[in-house]
Amino acid sequence: MSAIEGRAVRTAVIGYGGAFNIAKMHADHMLQCGMQFVAVCEMNEERLNQAIGDFPGIRGYATVEELLAQPDIDLVTVITPHNSHYSLGMQVLESGKHCVLEKPMSITAEEGDALVRKAKEKDVMLSVFHNRRWDSWYLTAKQLIAEGRLGDIFAVELHIGGHGHPGHWWRADKSISGGLAYDWGAHYIDWLLGLVPSRMTTVRGFTHKLKWHDVTNEDHMDIFIGFENGTSASLSVSSLAYAPKPNRRILGTKGAIISNGDEEVILYEDVDGKRVETKVTSIPSSWISYYRNIAAHLTQGEELVVKPEQSRRIIAVLDTAGRSAAEGKELTVPFE
């Protein structure tokens, strides 16, 4: 892949929906990293006009084909419902443009693998927007682990959710979302895999559909992962959990971490034979670092932080966990 030299990376987005203003955040980060935001594709006329109002001077297109035909676009970010990421990502890559996909990368492991192979075939960059790698708690936990404060990690337990109706929107529709664990769960699995530097050997999934029968996502899901180095890891995602539990608990031979929220990190360790609990001063979050790395990768050849093969692993876990729950047995993980 040849570098973009002598000018800014020219970017566009597919999808400018109103939920959480995610597309605007992407565009803002692109601009703050020195990229040139030039175009948007959005089928909804009101949202298209909103994008043009937010960023005067950009061009608007109603179809993906029109946008991808433009020669002055280097990078396209796909910000659409989950079940469209694969098909739109393939279109972007086939056009010869670099591609960022909002998480999750895809719904199935096979789709994720096809995206990785297509990017290699077309010699273009593919990355997934796992900006949460730059969350305060995660940066802090990684630093403590690197310093040896926890010793050898043997268990990682993650949890997201609570009790409440998931709402009537596409994120609660399994045919569109992929399932309960595909939204925030994609970030959590990314964290989990980043904390355990070992090959996955097994995945076991359990699902419960007990209360929210007017939506099709699972109400509760547990995922258990075994690793070659002996580490065990788990993720629970729930809309049925009346009682809270720590969002993140990391256990090591010399210490442990509990974390709730974006910044809180509590370290437990022995000091002179006594267990000491310390609220650690956390490293600030830096979500903009995602696009800073993308820009540096495309213009200077800097190593890509969020590699497509890593995102494929996340989808392999989610897909395999769903199949495991349906089949009632432990399964091996593809592409490991």
Instruction: Say if residue 161 is in the same domain as residue 30.
Output: no
The CATH number of whichever domain residue 97 belongs to comes to 3.40.50.720
More confident residue, 261 or 191: 191
- Is 112 inside any structural domain? yes
Instruction: Say if residue 100 is in the same domain as residue 89.
Output: yes
| Domain total of the chain | 2
Instruction: Say if residue 145 is in the same domain as residue 222.
Output: yes
pLDDT value of position 249:
99
CA–CA separation, 183 and 179 (whole Å): 8
Instruction: Say if residue 18 is in the same domain as residue 112.
Output: yes
Instruction: Say if residue 83 is in the same domain as residue 154.
Output: no
pLDDT value of position 107:
99
69-83 pLDDT per residue, tens: 999 999 999 999 999
pLDDT value of position 225:
99
- Is 262 inside any structural domain? yes
CA–CA separation, 280 and 256 (whole Å): 12
The CATH number of whichever domain residue 221 belongs to comes to 3.30.360.10
- Is 321 inside any structural domain? no
The SS3 of residue 48 is helix
Instruction: Say if residue 138 is in the same domain as residue 240.
Output: yes
Mean pLDDT of 5-18: 96
Instruction: Say if residue 23 is in the same domain as residue 125.
Output: yes
Instruction: Say if residue 28 is in the same domain as residue 125.
Output: yes
Instruction: Say if residue 271 is in the same domain as residue 294.
Output: no
- Is 281 inside any structural domain? yes
pLDDT reading at 149 higher than 90: yes
For 52, the token pair is 């043009």
pLDDT value of position 18:
83
pLDDT value of position 147:
98
CA–CA separation, 249 and 266 (whole Å): 10
For residue 3, name the pLDDT band (cuts at 50, 70, 90): very high
In the chain the beta strands, taken as DSSP E runs, fall at: 10-14, 36-41, 59-61, 75-78, 98-101, 126-128, 153-161, 200-208, 220-227, 232-238, 248-252, 255-259, 266-271, 274-279
- Is 72 inside any structural domain? yes
Instruction: Say if residue 120 is in the same domain as residue 39.
Output: yes
169-181 pLDDT per residue, tens: 999 999 999 999 9
For the whole model, what pTM was predicted? 0.97
> Which structural domain range is residue 153 located in?
133-285
Residue 17's nearest CA partner among 57, 46, 53, 59 is 46
pLDDT reading at 262 higher than 90: no
The rounded mean pLDDT for the chain is 98
pLDDT value of position 110:
98
pLDDT reading at 30 higher than 90: yes
pLDDT value of position 19:
82
- Is 3 inside any structural domain? no
Instruction: Say if residue 139 is in the same domain as residue 216.
Output: yes
- Is 315 inside any structural domain? no
For 330, the token pair is 């432990």
- Is 332 inside any structural domain? no
Instruction: Say if residue 273 is in the same domain as residue 141.
Output: yes
